[in-house]
Amino acid sequence: MVVKIVTDSTCDLPAHIAKDLDITVVPAYVHFGNKTYRDGVDITCDELYRRLVEGPVHPTTSAPSPGDFVQAYTKLAEETDNIVSITVTSKMSAIYKSAMIAREALVGKCRIEVVDSQSMTMGLGLITMAGAERARHGDGMEEVLETIRNAIPRVHLVAMLDTLKYALKGGRLGKASRLLGAMIKVKPMISMRDGEVVPAGLARTRVKAVERLTDFVRKRVPIEEIAVVHNTSPKEAETLAGRLKAIIPDRESIMAKVGPGLGVHGGPGALVVVLRESVRHLDRSAGEERKGIKLSLPSLRIPR
């Protein structure tokens, strides 16, 4: 019986890809005062960023409830006995916990495996795609799970934020806010390590930041899949994708937008590169780490 794939809306998967791969997306919530919107359903990216900049109320976000996942699982259980639910990193969201609670509610009715992607935005998206592609080929539960788990350590992302203003407003930087608040005029770069957001350097201009993103990809070749994610700068994203094409001519960048669920915290002007490196590169990287060649970055925890 076919394996069904579920994820949450912080994956930022383009709608046509989710539809083509039969991926069920459970939306997170965005709150403007006492009004609540489902990420990507009741509020669009463009509306979110317009209200974020112009509106008097700073929005907040919350995870889908366990009931939201129960509803998604129950519907899919009518078609299959096997569901894999892949969520945004549990270290920055309660979404994983909601998915796990919902799983317990359906014990005995359907096998449901919940996987923590340890990533976000199209990092989660690429991991979900890997599992969905395997499921579409008719492979069983164990094969799909193996593919997803093997993809997690091979997915990497680097993001440029135009400003820390919105992250500071939302209180997502915790104790690091004092230090990073002084960097408001530069372009902060962030990455992920072990499911947590970590600083990845600074760029004085957007041009320099794009160069950093390009170098990040160049150092990760060979690459199996790549995505360029933006929210309010489509032309810049297309230009970056063109530069990446010159580095990896056999791969087309998936173009995606940072959805409302994450956009609340990153703000407009973000630009992200996400890739899934090949197994060959992972083996080489592991060898370098054993030799002590490893970049160490301080952890930056974003509570949620």
User: 295 in helix, strand or coil?
Assistant: coil
DSSP-assigned beta bridge partners for residue 29: 38, 62
DSSP state of 57: S
What residues contact residue 108 under an 8 Å CB cut-off, 6+ apart? none
Residues 147-204: tens digit of each pLDDT: 999 999 999 999 999 877 776 665 544 434 444 544 556 888 999 999 998 888 888 8
For residue 105, the tally of other CB atoms under 10 A from its CB is 14
Please give the helix or strand (H or E) that residue 37 lies within, else none: strand 35-38
CA 118 to CA 22: how far, in whole Å? Answer: 22
Residues 252-291: tens digit of each pLDDT: 999 999 999 999 988 899 999 999 999 865 555 544 443 4
CA 8 to CA 124: how far, in whole Å? Answer: 9
Residues 277-286: tens digit of each pLDDT: 998 655 555 4
Compute, in degrees rounded to 10, the torsion defined by CA atoms 45, 49, 54, 58.
100
Please give the helix or strand (H or E) that residue 14 lies within, else none: none
Q: Is the pLDDT of residue 65 over 80?
A: yes
| Structural domains in the chain plus CATH codes | 4-153 (3.40.50.10170), 154-290 (3.30.1180.10)
